[in-house]
Amino acid sequence: MSVPTSSVPARYLRMPHVERGMAVGLFGGSFNPPHAGHALVAEIALRRLRLDQLWWIVTPGNPLKSHRDLAPLSERLALSEKCTTDPRVKVTAFEAGHRIRYTADTIDLVQTRNRGVNFVWIMGADSLRDFHRWERWRDIARSMPIAVIDRPGATLAFLSSTMAKTFDHARIDEDDAPILARSRPPAWTFIHGPRSSLSSTAIRNAAKETR
């Protein structure tokens, strides 16, 4: 899918700057729209994983979801910037700048361009349920450590999901989350903590009802 980027400031289409040895979380999503629940996931990840940076990656669009109600990329970026004031959070759309569609390709590019940086993929537990439907999902798990952050109604996903069962041998205790970014993949953990009931789908539906 080609996404218009003419209205997107050039800084968003470049990969954020990092230094060797840093621990960096990659938090990708459509963020359609972004909300306080996303900000909470980012906050928990930064604290529990002891990250130097978190890249808030606003994707061109989820290949597994309809794009009918997808807001323009520039709008989702602007709203994402308003969701967090932590300077360690870097809002970016470099996937659109490189015309990347799948997470596996994102990880390949990020790791190739940033040797010596310790990356960890971050996702909500609701994404874990469908992770086995992602393109090259096994390659993703074998390429980068994964931190799954608890989300309402998805707590049991870390036990029942195909990914959790397939890579059960690679799960580390959440007490060891601070070393996850520097762990050799496959390695993943499930992090419990405060949960927000907000959802992008509910926000979009509520907006439609008020029109």
Give per-residue pLDDT as tens, 33-45: 999 999 999 999 9
Question: Is the model's pLDDT at 107 over the cut of 70?
Answer: yes
Examine residue 162 and state whether it is found in any structural domain, yes or no.
yes
Each residue of 171-193: pLDDT tens digit? 999 999 999 999 999 999 999 97
- Rounded Cα gap, residues 43 and 23, in angstroms: 15
Residue 98 domain boundaries: 10-209
* Structural domain count, the chain: 1
| Contact between 126 and 190 (Cβ < 8 Å) | no
Examine residue 144 and state whether it is found in any structural domain, yes or no.
yes
Examine residue 192 and state whether it is found in any structural domain, yes or no.
yes
Examine residue 2 and state whether it is found in any structural domain, yes or no.
no
Question: How much of the chain is in helix, strand and coil states, percent to nearest 5?
Answer: 40, 15, 45
Examine residue 99 and state whether it is found in any structural domain, yes or no.
yes
The CATH number of the domain where 202 resides is what? 3.40.50.620
Listed residue (204, 207, 163, 170) closest to 186, CA to CA:
170
Least confident of 26-30, 97-101, 152-156: 152-156
Examine residue 5 and state whether it is found in any structural domain, yes or no.
no
Examine residue 66 and state whether it is found in any structural domain, yes or no.
yes
Structure confidence at residue 202 (pLDDT): 47
Examine residue 201 and state whether it is found in any structural domain, yes or no.
yes
pLDDT level of residue 111 (50, 70, 90 thresholds): very high
